[in-house]
């Protein structure tokens, strides 16, 4: 990861599973004795073995008694971290050798085990695990050419939190071979990425979205390398008036979010024009607020080309901030040629006085700004 962040090497994905490997059939279910009995009998009928994960040592014996009640004929080994070294070793040796049919264990089995005959796993209280843990535990089965089964058990009395439900939905959705990267991406969305350039362990990816987070991260890396950012800083436009997509114009939320994204990423005027044509063709004449939103996108594009980083209204004034000192004189000449009174404040700010009737009316002010920036 470090070499990839420095741009020395590319990151590649391993998506090809070993030959003859089948996807693990994954199912989220409540604790059901009939279901467990059926799954246990099916595995034993093909001379297989079973993992049962229960991550609380204090009542693991009670769980063993429940399993014996469901399947009295099964031989059970119990493995956890409080066993003496010799006892734990003997339990594992017996299971690997096939002398026990079911291994009841804590997450001590999460990694490092490769037992091809074990192809069914039950994960008790699965809503308490993270996605990485569930993925690792599920990886203990399906290590041969046989179809494997993973049962994510949730207590009947448990009410899932929204985050737990999303985790279980993700592990069930991404159950195909080679889906580890997709699952990691979903985990990234759920938990946040943390600060890759520091020590903080929780990030804000859920608040800003994965795409924007990657762009911000890329610009931060460029800054550490003393390179210009891939994306120039956005122009901040603070003018009165409504500029949004009305709810009754585009009802579908996904479509609305998609158009907001596309408008924010337009880089040339022709893209805005094409987008406007597409929207009118699909949804009809544009409402005033939506038309202003597109005009703001055009204004942003023009302002960015003029090295402007902010446009705002203050009492009786239009204030334009620049991030390039050399553009100030060109901008002053542009205003003079258009007959506009102009003042230069400091090295990076242009101040334009506004007539009272323009300053008091948001629509007239916006039209004046459009004329000033030559936006049709």
Task: Measure CA 28 to chain center.
Answer: 23
What is the rounded CA–CA span in Å between residue 133 and residue 127?
11
Domains and CATH numbers, the chain: 25-191 (3.40.50.300), 192-231 (no CATH), 236-372 (3.90.1150.50)
Residues 6+ apart with CB under 8 A from 109: 51, 53, 79, 103, 137, 140
Would you state the pLDDT for residue 16?
A: 67
Q: Integer distance in angstroms from the first to the last C-alpha of the chain?
A: 48
Question: How does pLDDT run across 304-353, given as a tens digit for each residue?
Answer: 887 788 888 888 888 888 776 666 677 667 666 666 677 777 767 877 78
Residue whose C-alpha is closest to residue 40's, from 64, 73, 65 = 73
What is the rounded CA–CA span in Å between residue 88 and residue 91?
5
Question: How does pLDDT run across 163-179, given as a tens digit for each residue?
Answer: 888 899 999 888 877 77
Residue 179 to residues 16, 18, 37, 182, Cα–Cα distance (Å): 10, 13, 29, 5
Question: How does pLDDT run across 138-159, given as a tens digit for each residue?
Answer: 999 988 888 999 999 998 888 8
Question: How does pLDDT run across 206-246, given as a tens digit for each residue?
Answer: 556 666 677 777 777 877 887 766 666 678 888 888 888 99
Phi-psi bin for 71: left (phi > 0), alpha (psi -120 to 50), beta? beta
Q: How many CB atoms lie within 10 A of CB 338?
A: 11
Decide if pLDDT at 55 tops 90: yes
Could you tell me the pTM of the whole model? Answer: 0.53
């Amino acid at each position: 990861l470090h070499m990839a962040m420095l741009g020395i090497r590319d990151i590649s994905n391993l998506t090809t599973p070993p030959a003859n490997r089948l996807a693990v059939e994954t199912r989220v279910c409540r604790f059901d004795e009939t279901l467990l009995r059926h799954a246990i009998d099916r595995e034993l009928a093909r001379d297989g073995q079973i993992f049962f994960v229960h991550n609380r040592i204090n009542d693991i014996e009670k769980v063993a008694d429940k399993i014996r009640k469901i399947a009295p004929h099964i031989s059970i080994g119990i493995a956890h971290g409080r066993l003496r070294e010799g006892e734990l070793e003997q339990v594992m040796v017996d299971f690997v050798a096939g002398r026990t049919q079911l291994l009841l264990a804590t997450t001590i089995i999460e990694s490092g085990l490769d037992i091809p005959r074990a192809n069914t796993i039950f994960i008790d209280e699965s809503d308490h695990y993270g996605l990485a843990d569930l993925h690792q535990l599920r990886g203990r089965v399906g290590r041969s050419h046989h179809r494997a089964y993973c049962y994510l058990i949730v207590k009947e009395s448990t009410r899932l939190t929204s985050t737990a439900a999303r985790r279980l939905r993700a592990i069930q959705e991404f159950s195909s071979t080679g889906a580890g990267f997709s699952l990691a991406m979903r985990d990234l969305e759920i938990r946040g990425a943390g600060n890759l350039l520091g020590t903080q362990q929780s990030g804000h990816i859920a608040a800003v979205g994965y795409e924007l987070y990657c762009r911000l991260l890329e610009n931060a890396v460029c800054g550490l390398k003393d390179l210009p950012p891939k994306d120039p800083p956005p122009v901040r436009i603070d003018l009165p008036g409504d500029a949004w997509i009305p709810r009754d114009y585009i009802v579908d939320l996904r479509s609305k979010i998609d158009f907001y994204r596309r408008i924010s990423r337009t880089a040339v005027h022709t893209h805005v024009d094409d987008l406007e044509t597409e929207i009118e063709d699909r949804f009809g004449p544009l409402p005033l607020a939506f038309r202003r939103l597109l005009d703001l996108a055009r204004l942003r594009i023009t302002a960015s080309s003029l090295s402007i980083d902010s446009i705002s209204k203050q009492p009786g004034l239009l204030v334009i901030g620049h991030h390039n000192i050399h553009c100030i004189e060109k901008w002053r000449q542009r205003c003079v040629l258009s007959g506009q009174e102009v003042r230069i404040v400091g090295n990076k700010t242009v101040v334009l006085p506004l007539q009272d009737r323009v300053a008091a009316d948001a629509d007239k002010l916006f039209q004046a700004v459009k004329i000033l920036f030559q936006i049709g």
